């Protein structure tokens, strides 16, 4: 194996700073070399190329003549994390192995009572229900500039990074959660076509690249903030959007008019304050 030109510790620190800068600002460190087509100065050029849909961040088109150029000449395509953006995130993860701790907002959405549901339904019908839920959930998340971290059985997990969801990513995540509940038929006087509970939490998490079997590089998110979000989601009843205290504070949401809960979460020594956002 060829020896790195710099000590591994310095290399890891550099990559960590690269990730932190990218996830918080969408930019790379000053002085870093980028592929020529990723240079920010080309955004006006991409915006002028036909046609929609295009990346919401850099404006590279996915369809029409511009889309043909993107695919054939630049090898750029919609992201697997959010098809409203290009796959610069995936290429970034391959170029800079590692990651960084960044404050983000995390959302987990799960179908409530999926086991009893599956027992009452034909396998094909249940599979179609899960697929419909995935489509409704991801549409709401994509439109709010979330990045999908994973699909897990009857649920999905996403995170909102400042570079993509904006500085008030906590508020954006709450909007996305409301959109998911609305898309699945929840609301006063409505009958949901699938029962969904949602948990949202803001905190510092480790986000970075992980080499998977077969050589594929995935972007993953880890840490206590992620675990807390999953537990909040598991506590949310059908139709409930359960939000942590940190998310409420970061979003500027008033606590008035929202039911408060004191939760005892697995792995937590102290109770956790949460609110049911209406």
Read off the pTM. 0.88
Residue limits of CATH 3.30.70.1230 in the chain:
99-276
User: What pLDDT does residue 4 have?
Assistant: 47
CA distance 82 to 45: 22
- Are 197 and 109 in contact by the 8 Å Cβ rule? The answer is yes
Locate tokens 């990045």: which residue? 147
Say whether pLDDT at 141 is over 50. yes
Give the up-direction half-sphere exposure of residue 256: CA atoms within 13 A in the CB hemisphere.
1
CA distance 230 to 262: 16
For the domain spanning 99-276, the CATH number is 3.30.70.1230
User: What pLDDT does residue 152 have?
Assistant: 84
Least confident interval from 34-38, 65-69, 148-152, 170-174: 34-38
User: What pLDDT does residue 214 have?
Assistant: 61
Locate tokens 């510092």: which residue? 204
More reliable by pLDDT, 181 or 35:
181
* Residues ≥6 apart with Cβ < 8 Å to 258: 275, 276, 277, 278
- Are 205 and 158 in contact by the 8 Å Cβ rule? The answer is no
CA distance 63 to 137: 24
């Amino acid at each position: 194996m060829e020896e790195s030109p710099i000590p591994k510790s310095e290399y890891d620190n550099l990559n960590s700073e690269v990730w932190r800068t990218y996830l918080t600002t969408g930019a790379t460190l000053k002085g870093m070399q980028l592929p020529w087509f990723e240079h920010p100065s080309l955004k006006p050029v991409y915006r002028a190329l036909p046609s929609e849909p295009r990346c919401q961040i850099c404006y590279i088109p996915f369809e029409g003549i511009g889309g043909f150029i993107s695919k054939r000449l630049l090898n750029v395509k919609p992201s697997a994390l959010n098809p409203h953006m290009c796959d610069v995130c995936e290429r970034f993860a391959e170029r800079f192995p590692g990651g960084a701790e960044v404050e983000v907002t995390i959302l987990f959405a799960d179908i409530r009572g999926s086991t009893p549901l599956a027992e009452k339904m034909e396998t094909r019908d249940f599979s179609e229900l899960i697929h419909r839920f995935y489509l409704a959930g991801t549409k709401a998340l994509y439109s709010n500039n979330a990045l999908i971290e994973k699909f897990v059985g009857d649920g999905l997990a996403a995170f909102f990074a400042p570079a993509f969801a904006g500085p008030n990513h906590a508020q954006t995540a709450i909007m996305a959660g409301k959109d998911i509940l609305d898309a699945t038929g929840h609301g006063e006087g409505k009958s949901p076509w699938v029962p969904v509970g949602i948990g949202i939490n803001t905190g510092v998490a480790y986000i970075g690249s992980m080499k998977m079997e077969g050589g594929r590089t995935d972007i993953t998110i880890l840490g206590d903030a992620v675990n807390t979000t999953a537990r909040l989601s598991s506590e949310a009843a059908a139709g409930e959007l359960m939000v942590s205290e940190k998310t409420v504070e970061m979003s500027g949401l008033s606590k008035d008019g929202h039911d408060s809960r004191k939760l005892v979460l697995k792995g937590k020594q102290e109770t956790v304050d949460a609110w049911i956002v209406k």
